[in-house]
Structure formats: C-alpha cells, structure tokens
C-alpha cells in the first residue's frame, strides 16, 4: 500500500503513515467538531494496512492539543494497534510524546497506557528549557 500523508489543517493533525519505514505519526492539534469525518478514512486505511502488514511498526503521537472527540478516535487507533499486536505477533511500539510543562498531555498518555496495558506504550516527556 502507498503511504498515507495528510498535511496539518486548521483544526486537524498531520498524519504520516509511512509504509516504507513503518513509522506512523499523528502530530499537531486536533480540535475539529467533525473528527469522525476526518478520521474515518484514516481508520479505514489503517485497518486495511494492518490486515496485510507483517513487519514491525512504530506509532508516534506528537500532539500539542486534542479535544474529547479526537480522544475517542485515538482510542480506536490504539485498539486496532492492540489487536494487530496480539493477532500478528509482530513487533510494535507506541510512543506518546509530551512536553514536560504539558501536564494534560502527559496525563492523557498515562490514561491511554492504563487502557492498553498489554500494548508496548512508552511516554516520552521532553524537557523544556
């Protein structure tokens, strides 16, 4: 499959699912009121890709802000990744990046990590000078 790349929009995050490197990333801000319309094709693409992929996969979240509606879509993505991890027995790692002064983003990562305890999920807090 071809890589899925969607530039960051006014209310939507940057999406880069690179099938050459198998490093997937969601970054920026997501606060659209219509997250289902934005994420539905992304979720569909990811589902199709995971169904045929047998390579290791790295999934990075580098968010500055996201709304409650987006959090539901992230939950769906993580559920897909968890299913893939257990069914395909492939290497997978999820990285949640947050700035040290962004307690909300750190807490969100911790909540997702608690929800998906069997998923290799790492929170990386980046020091701010």
For the chain, the first-to-last Cα distance in angstroms comes to: 41
pLDDT value of position 129: 63
Residues of the chain with pLDDT under 70: 129
Q: Please give the backbone phi and psi of residue 43, each rounded to the nearest 5 degrees, phi first.
A: -65, -40
Looking at residue 58, its pLDDT comes to 98
How distant, in Å, are the alpha carbons of 27, 46, 91, 114, 128 from that of 98? 11, 24, 23, 16, 10
Neighbouring-strand partners of residue 29: 65
pLDDT in tens, 67-76: 999 999 999 9
For residue 69 the two structure tokens come to: 């509606």
Give the separation between CA 97 and CA 125, rounded to whole angstroms.
Answer: 6
Give SS3 for 52. helix
Can you give the three-state secondary structure of 11-39, one letter per residue?
Answer: CCCEEEEECCCCEEEEEEEECCCCHHHHH
3-class secondary-structure state, position 90: coil
Give the residue from 124, 119, 120 showing the smallest Cα distance to 109. Answer: 124
């Amino acid at each position: 499959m071809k890589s899925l790349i969607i530039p960051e929009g006014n209310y939507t995050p940057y999406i880069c699912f690179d099938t050459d490197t198998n490093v997937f990333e969601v970054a920026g801000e997501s606060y659209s009121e219509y997250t289902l319309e934005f994420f539905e094709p992304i979720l569909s693409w990811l589902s199709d890709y995971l169904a045929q992929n047998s390579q290791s996969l790295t999934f990075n979240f580098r968010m500055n802000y996201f709304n409650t509606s987006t959090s539901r879509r992230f939950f769906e993505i993580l559920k897909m990744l968890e299913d893939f991890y257990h069914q395909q027995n492939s290497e997978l790692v999820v990285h949640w990046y947050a700035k040290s002064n962004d307690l909300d983003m750190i807490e969100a990562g911790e909540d997702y990590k608690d929800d998906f305890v069997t998923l290799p999920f790492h929170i990386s807090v980046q020091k701010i000078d």
